[in-house]
Amino acid sequence: MQTPGAEAHNPFFAISELPYRLPPFERIETAHYRPAFERGMSDQLAEVEAIATNPEPPTFENTIVALERSGQLLQRVAAVFFNQASSDSTPEVQEIQGEVSPKLAAHSDAIHLDGRLFARIEALLPSAGDLDPESRRLLERYHLEFVRAGAALTDDQQARLREINEELSALETAFQNKLLADTNASAVVVDDAAQLDGLSADAVTAAAEAARERGLEGKYVLTLGLPSGQPVLTSLTNRGLRERIHRASVSRGANGNEHDTRETAARIATLRAERAALFGHPDHATYVLEDRTAKTPAAVHDMLGKLTPAAVANAHAEAAKLQEAIGDEFELRAWDWAHYSDKVRRQTYDIDAAQLRPYFELDRVLRDGVFYAAGKLYGLSFTERPDLVAYHPDARVFEVFDEDGSGLGLFIGDFFTRDSKRGGAWMNSFVEQSALLGTKPVVINNLNIVKPPAGEPALLTFDEVNTMFHEFGHALHGLFSNVTYPTFSGTSVLRDFVEFPSQVNEMWAVWPEVLANYAVHHETGEPLPQELVQRLLDSQIWGEGFATTEYLAATLLDLAWHEIAPGTVVEDPLAFEAAALERAGVALEAVPPRYRTSYFAHIFAGGYSAGYYSYIWSEVLDADTVEWFKENGGLVRANGDHFRKELLSRGGSVDAMEAFRNFRGRDPQIEPLLVRRGLTR
């Protein structure tokens, strides 16, 4: 219970007065979350009740616009809380998340299953043609969302739907928290520095620092990233240690301890199938894809079918080359792949991943790479704002300016890994752009780069450089938003379209002008040698068999879980997984799926259920778009302005494929992707 006067001090209860409505993190405490969530839900229900009981006939303004304006307090607290739950979690935050997630699911149902509200929305449909295009799309979107949320179901069906949604919310939170705990617990402890042979000096120092933070003075701790493949496997020469790390990685969530996620994952899949049946669908994938650009599971399988055989054949060919490099000493296993792949890459292209890292210092990549490309292409400029406090000391705040000097929004970069941060990389928003609400965007990029000891530079792998450009593509999607309604703001697009702009932004990481600007040796100031640049570019096709196969295996596993029939109960999730991979033709022992069931956070806790295919679906659009940029002069303002106007600024206010056609002048073609991934043979 709050103490008297506490409400006046809860920073969520008022709109922030900081620039761009940046949340006042200096004043936010964990104790503020529960009362802010409770009041936020209560306020929105009162707002919705006023809309539903309005005695005036329904109009677009008094119904749809009123709904768009509702729930602003709830949005403020949710944006801050769920970012912390992902990027700087604590036991208390996890406890609150476990409590509030089912309440939020019930809150959403209370709105979407309100028959009075649904009736008002339906009454507006005949006059939709009188509205401007964005308003008409918003009305149609609201109607579709209410139908897909269960507004047209019977009372009994709605009652069961509420139960399912509440349980799913709790289970998804449990999966996330269990996985974080088991990932931390599965970090590999090394007693002898000699076992770390192959790692760079800064990586060894970082491992010692990680051990000290855990009270293991004199030892070394190798933490685990989210995917199956761990970056240190590339460098480590000790095969026994490589095996330990690999086995620790692929057994996360399946160790039979209190953090085991298998039963949770299986229950989630069963409940999703039951929910799909309430809507008359044969499985969850069909229900999900009905509201995606793909439209049907058959369309996804058709696209994957064009890729899988060639990808697997390439992976087998790569495996043969790796076995040749190993010789007769032992048989290639999963924990050997990255190490010997790097050897073959170095032998074939005379390039060493470790050789590149001194040229990729984090701040230089950010300012002279990521920001530089955005300046050349879109006319943006960036000023760091140390006077603005973020949610963690490692998170840095930048103000973003348009070419005319007007403020566009804020960008927050939180680049370093920590035990309180989930794995992977992602973009969030604290404030979304909306002309209706008068808001400009505040966006965040989270990465998981190992933090160097104090005073040492943060040197990146090329994959980490690519990830930084990728996530900033999402940030640009949020920053360039120019819509009226918050429902359509920024990255609020269909799931299998959202990765498209971010993947396009990866192209600038290796664009000659951009690469030359940021790829400078952090000690000598010497540029990355041109011959090394060319070898880097030439080497990118190597390993595509492995990369495509591990991705497709995860994608097909996702579909298998979400194409189970209603009533199916999976007793042994790992046996189910093995059978699904075998059936799909991607069961390669040395190429495990990028994510296995027990740590597949994207689909069991991250909103990508039946949607992990989105990355390669979006890559079809991306590869075709990269060809357009090359055909039209590359890194020039006219190209950036066109991409910004037709795609990045539109959010969800237009149909996704219509936006692509407006940009490209035609439908996408798959051939550029096949060439990029070496799948044309």
Mean pLDDT of 233-261: 97
Q: Can you give the pLDDT at residue 130?
A: 97
CA dist 358 and 366 (Å) reads: 15
Please identify, among 518, 540, 562, the residue that sits at the C-terminal boundary of a domain: 540
pLDDT cut 70: percent of the chain above it: 99
- The alpha carbon of 39 is separated from its chain's Cα centroid by a whole number of angstroms, namely 29
For residues 532 and 422, membership in a common domain is answered with: yes
- For residue 672, being part of any structural domain is answered with no
For residues 509 and 598, membership in a common domain is answered with: no
Q: Can you give the pLDDT at residue 7?
A: 62
What is the pTM assigned to this prediction? 0.89
Asked if 618 contacts 496 with a C-beta cutoff of 8 angstroms, the reply is yes
For residues 28 and 126, membership in a common domain is answered with: yes
Mean pLDDT of 441-450: 96
Please identify, among 520, 540, 560, the residue that sits at the C-terminal boundary of a domain: 540
Q: Dump the DSSP string for 361-379.
A: BHHHHIIIIIHHHHHHHH-
Mean pLDDT of 486-494: 97
Please identify, among 580, 603, 626, the residue that sits at the C-terminal boundary of a domain: 603
For residues 219 and 271, membership in a common domain is answered with: no
DSSP character for 591? B
pLDDT band of 8, cuts 50, 70, 90: low
For residues 351 and 441, membership in a common domain is answered with: no
Tokens 């970069």: give the residue: 413
Task: Report the number of distinct structural domains present in the chain.
Answer: 4
For residues 494 and 534, membership in a common domain is answered with: yes
Q: Can you give the pLDDT at residue 5?
A: 47
Q: How many C-beta neighbours within 10 Å does residue 69 have?
A: 15
Q: Can you give the pLDDT at residue 540?
A: 85
pLDDT band of 208, cuts 50, 70, 90: very high
Per the annotation, the verdict on 384 as an active-site residue is no
Degrees to nearest 5, angle at CA 48 with 43 and 53: 130
Q: Can you give the pLDDT at residue 423?
A: 84
pLDDT single digits (tens) 546-593: 999 999 999 999 999 999 999 999 999 999 999 999 999 999 999 999
For residues 553 and 591, membership in a common domain is answered with: yes
Q: Which conformational region is residue 493 in: left (phi greater than 0), alpha (psi within -120 to 50 degrees), or beta?
A: beta
Q: Can you give the pLDDT at residue 536?
A: 85
CA dist 432 and 75 (Å) reads: 10
Q: Can you give the pLDDT at residue 283?
A: 98
Residue 3 has pLDDT above 70, yes or no: no
Of 134, 471, 544, 563, the active-site residue reads 471
pLDDT single digits (tens) 30-89: 999 999 999 999 999 999 999 999 999 999 999 999 999 999 999 999 999 999 999 999
For residues 58 and 130, membership in a common domain is answered with: yes
- For residue 425, being part of any structural domain is answered with yes
In this structure, what CATH number is given to the domain that contains residue 392?
Answer: 1.10.1370.40
Q: How many C-beta neighbours within 10 Å does residue 139 have?
A: 18
- For residue 199, being part of any structural domain is answered with yes
* Mean pLDDT estimate for the chain: 96
Mean pLDDT of 250-261: 97
Q: Residues 6 or more apart from 201 whose CB is under 8 A from it?
A: none
For residues 307 and 396, membership in a common domain is answered with: no
pLDDT band of 2, cuts 50, 70, 90: very low
Mean pLDDT of 421-427: 92
For residues 454 and 475, membership in a common domain is answered with: yes
For residues 526 and 563, membership in a common domain is answered with: no
Residue 202 has pLDDT above 90, yes or no: no
DSSP character for 490? T
How buried is 557 (Cβ within 10 angstroms: 0-12 exposed, 13-18 middle, 19+ buried)?
buried
Domain range enclosing 56: 6-152
Q: Can you give the pLDDT at residue 379?
A: 98
pLDDT single digits (tens) 54-67: 999 999 999 999 99
